[in-house]
Amino acid sequence: MRPHFKTKNSSYADFHRHASSYDYYKVKTMNSMKFQNMSTLSCIQIITIVSQQFIIYSSFIILILGLVGNILNIITFTSLKIFRNNQCIFYIIVASIVDCGTLLIEFITRIQLNIYDYDLTNISLVWCKIRPMIFHTCMMISLTTVCFSSFDQYLSTSHYYRLRQMSSLTLSKRLTFINISFWIIYSIPFGIFYQITSVTGCTILNQGFKFYFSFIHLSILNGVIPLITASVFSILSYRNVRHIIRLQIPIVRRRLDRQLTAMVLIRVLYLFIVSIPFGLFFIYTLNTSNNTNDSLRIAVEQLITNITSTFYYLNYAGSFYLYCFSSNRFRRQINYLLFKKIWQNFYKKILFKTTVQRNQIVPISKISNFK
* Cα–Cα distance for residue pair 153/298, rounded to 1 Å: 44
Predicted pLDDT of residue 5: 41
Predicted pLDDT of residue 367: 39
Give Cα separations from 298 to 160, 210, 266 (angstroms): 55, 21, 35
Query: 140: closest CA among 225, 222, 66?
Result: 222
Parse the chain into domains and list their residue ranges.
Answer: 37-346
Predicted pLDDT of residue 128: 92
CB count within 10 Å of CB 175 equals: 19
Write the pLDDT tens digit of every residue in 124-181. 899 999 999 999 999 999 999 999 999 999 998 888 888 888 989 999 999 999 999 9
Predicted pLDDT of residue 292: 58
What single letter denotes the amino acid at residue 354? T
Burial of 231 (0-12, 13-18, 19+ CB in 10 A): middle
Q: Which CATH architecture has domain 37-346?
A: Up-down Bundle (1.20)
Residue 354 CA, chain-centre distance (Å), reads 43
Reduce the DSSP state of residue 204 to 3 states and report it: strand
Predicted pLDDT of residue 229: 94
What single letter denotes the amino acid at residue 18? H
Q: In which residue ranges of the chain is pLDDT below 50?
A: 1-35, 362, 364, 366-371
What single letter denotes the amino acid at residue 87? Q
- pTM of the entire predicted model: 0.80
Predicted pLDDT of residue 96: 95
